[in-house]
Amino acid sequence: MSESAVPSFPKHLLDFRDWSPVQVESLLETAQMMQEVLARPVKKVPALTGFTVATVFFEPSTRTRISFELAARRMSADVVSFVGAVSSTTKGETYRDTLRTLDQMGIDAYILRTDAAGVPHQAHGWLKKPIINAGDGWRAHPTQALLDAFTLREKLGSLEGKKIAIVGDILHSRVARSNAELLPMLGAHVVACGPATLLPAQLPGATLTTNLKEALQEADAVMVLRLQKERMDKGLLPSLPEYIAAYQITQGRLGWARPEAPLLHPGPMNRDVELEGTLADAPRSLVERQVANGQAVRMAVLYHVLVGKRN
């Protein structure tokens, strides 16, 4: 293959705007290889020897951070981590200042999580280094969407023509937004469902409904989102019992979906709120598989942005 025929990969993962379906397919193939690495007794390859990766989490998420850090270490990268908070009144130490300070220390790629949309894009401009978005505000969480897609394909095969229902607080969900961006690239049809107060008027890539039965009907998979209690404080929901009555995923309601339709949840879960607690442990639950696959997918992402795809 000539060099020009090789798709040049974006040197960052901010969202999927810069990624084509072919590139995503290739990334998921790499994740498959990484999964094989993770199945070995010695789960380590030298692919990223000499690279230093920083996880910079302004919004704490131990699970996601550990998943990224393990992914980097399993490919022999050096890892540093920064966990900080940015309050709305912080005047001095901003995202930019922190990142520029860290950048004096010879870091090769940043894994960045922030409460504000767009910061990874800004950071890409400030640092001119590969940036992997580990979640920015309500906007995007691309590695979560990749691991969801990877897990769904493992279970369902091709996603072409498949109906994926996403249920919960769609308005404030970066997971829903990234999935609505990625899954249609792989041929799936996304239906997003939640209470009217937690649903945007429109979401490109998804069909929206407040009717749970309509969302679940014939669904090939059901993805449940975490409900944040602060939505109640902000007056967006009357109460938890009200939400549970209308939108909790129960054994019975799951019957509306296709038989055996798998259940996904990005975690952490509020058992008995967004879904019936026992469902999380049921055979159709892919929750643990998602966590395991998260590492393989993140290894693939790091490999792609730092080394690039080799033929």
Partner 1 sequence: MKGEILLKNAKLVDGRGEHGHADVLIGEGRILSLSGGEAQKVLDVAGMVLSPGFLDPHAHLREPGQEVKEDLRSGLTAAARGGYTDVVSMPNTSPVVDSAEMVRALKKKAAQIGQARLHPAAALTQGQEGKTLSEAKLLQEAGAAMLTDDGRTNEDAGVLALGLRYAASWGLVVAVHAEDAGLRRGGVMHEGEVSYRLGLPGNPGYAESARIARDLEVLRYVNEGLAAQPHLHIQHLSTKRGLELVRQARRDGLRVSTEVTPHHLTLTHERLESLNPLYKVAPPLRTQADVEALVEGLLDGSIECIGTDHAPHTADEKELDLLRAPFGIPSLEVCWPLLYTELVEKRSFPLAVLLERFTDGPRRILGLAPIHLEEGAEASLVLWSPDEERPVDPKCFASKARFSPWAGWVLRGWPTLTLVEGRVVFESAHTLGKEPRPI
Spatial distance between the Cα atoms of 39 and 213, rounded to a whole number of angstroms: 39
Counting contacts by CB under 8 A, is residue 117 touching partner 1?
yes
Nearer to partner 1, 225 or 254 (CB): 225
Among 5, 39, 105, 201, binds partner 1 (CB under 8 A): 201
The torsion angles phi and psi of 131, rounded to 5 degrees, stand at -125, 130
Tokens standing for residue 310? 């080799």
What's at 212, amino acid-wise? L
Spatial distance between the Cα atoms of 285 and 301, rounded to a whole number of angstroms: 25
**Binding span for partner 1 by CB under 8 A among 34-42, 86-94, 260-268, 291-299:** 86-94
What are the beta bridge partners of residue 223? 166, 264
Counting contacts by CB under 8 A, is residue 118 touching partner 1?
yes
Strand order, beta sheet including 206-209: 206-209, 189-193, 163-167, 221-224, 263-264
CB of 191 to partner 1, least distance (A): 16
Spatial distance between the Cα atoms of 218 and 261, rounded to a whole number of angstroms: 9
Nearer to partner 1, 137 or 282 (CB): 137
Among 37, 83, 116, 292, binds partner 1 (CB under 8 A): 116
Nearer to partner 1, 90 or 211 (CB): 90
Work out the number of other CB atoms within 10 angstroms of the CB of residue 307.
13
The torsion angles phi and psi of 207, rounded to 5 degrees, stand at -95, 135
CB of 267 to partner 1, least distance (A): 19
- 299: nearest Cα among 17, 76, 52, 11: 76
The secondary element (H helix, E strand) that includes residue 126 is helix 119-127
Spatial distance between the Cα atoms of 70 and 58, rounded to a whole number of angstroms: 19
Burial class (CB within 10 angstroms; exposed 0-12, middle 13-18, buried 19+) of 81 = middle
Counting contacts by CB under 8 A, is residue 133 touching partner 1?
no
Binding characters for partner 1, 213-252, by CB under 8 A (x = yes): ----------------------------------------
Tokens standing for residue 266? 């990005």
Alpha helices (H) in 106-203, listed in sequence order: 119-127, 142-156, 174-182
Among 8, 49, 94, 211, binds partner 1 (CB under 8 A): 94
Counting contacts by CB under 8 A, is residue 200 touching partner 1?
yes
DSSP class of 227: P
Spatial distance between the Cα atoms of 156 and 34, rounded to a whole number of angstroms: 20
Counting contacts by CB under 8 A, is residue 113 touching partner 1?
no
Counting contacts by CB under 8 A, is residue 122 touching partner 1?
yes
Counting contacts by CB under 8 A, is residue 121 touching partner 1?
yes
Among 56, 75, 203, 223, binds partner 1 (CB under 8 A): 203
Among 53, 54, 119, 273, binds partner 1 (CB under 8 A): 119
What is the footprint of partner 1 within residues 165-184 (CB under 8 A)?
172, 174, 177
Nearer to partner 1, 93 or 218 (CB): 93
**Binding span for partner 1 by CB under 8 A among 66-74, 116-124, 160-168, 260-268:** 116-124
CB of 184 to partner 1, least distance (A): 13
Total number of residues that touch partner 1 (CB under 8 A): 26
Residues of this chain that interact with partner 1 (CB under 8 A) are: 86, 88, 90, 94-96, 114-119, 121-122, 137-140, 172, 174, 177, 200-204
